[in-house]
Amino acid sequence: MTDPATDDERAAEREELLRYEAEREARRRRRDAASRRAVGWIAAVALAFLLYDSGGALAEAARAGRPWGTHAVFTTAAALGLLWLLWALVRGIRARHRR
């Protein structure tokens, strides 16, 4: 038969390990959320600059009668990327409010 004191010690160790693992998981989730926010902002700024620059180049090329297809593709891609980031932001806000 096992000693009750030993069983109590094992249960306490098990509880401590479970608590430690839960704390690690909470820290990981907070760190991942902060990383996602930072990457989202960096991507938004880069796409906004690309949209501004490509849109200006598109307008200039169209006015000058030069080929403008490549500029239109980049402008569209940047606009779609920004719309996708906006959609992801709204989806995240809605998910947080449901909790």
- pTM as predicted: 0.75
Mean pLDDT of 16-21: 95
Place of tokens 């719309």: 83
Res. 51 pLDDT band, cuts 50 70 90: very high
**pLDDT reported for residue 26:** 96
Q: What percent of the chain has pLDDT over 70?
A: 95
Query: How far lies 82's CA from each of 63, 64, 70, 90, in Å?
Result: 26, 28, 19, 12
Cα(9)–Cα(5) distance, integer angstroms: 6
By the 10 Å C-beta count (0-12 exposed, 13-18 middle, 19+ buried), 87 is classed as exposed
Check: CB of residue 43 under 8 Å from CB of residue 85: yes
Res. 2 pLDDT band, cuts 50 70 90: low
Res. 66 pLDDT band, cuts 50 70 90: very high
**pLDDT reported for residue 86:** 95
Q: Is the pLDDT of residue 1 over 90?
A: no
The full set of domain ranges for the chain reads 4-98
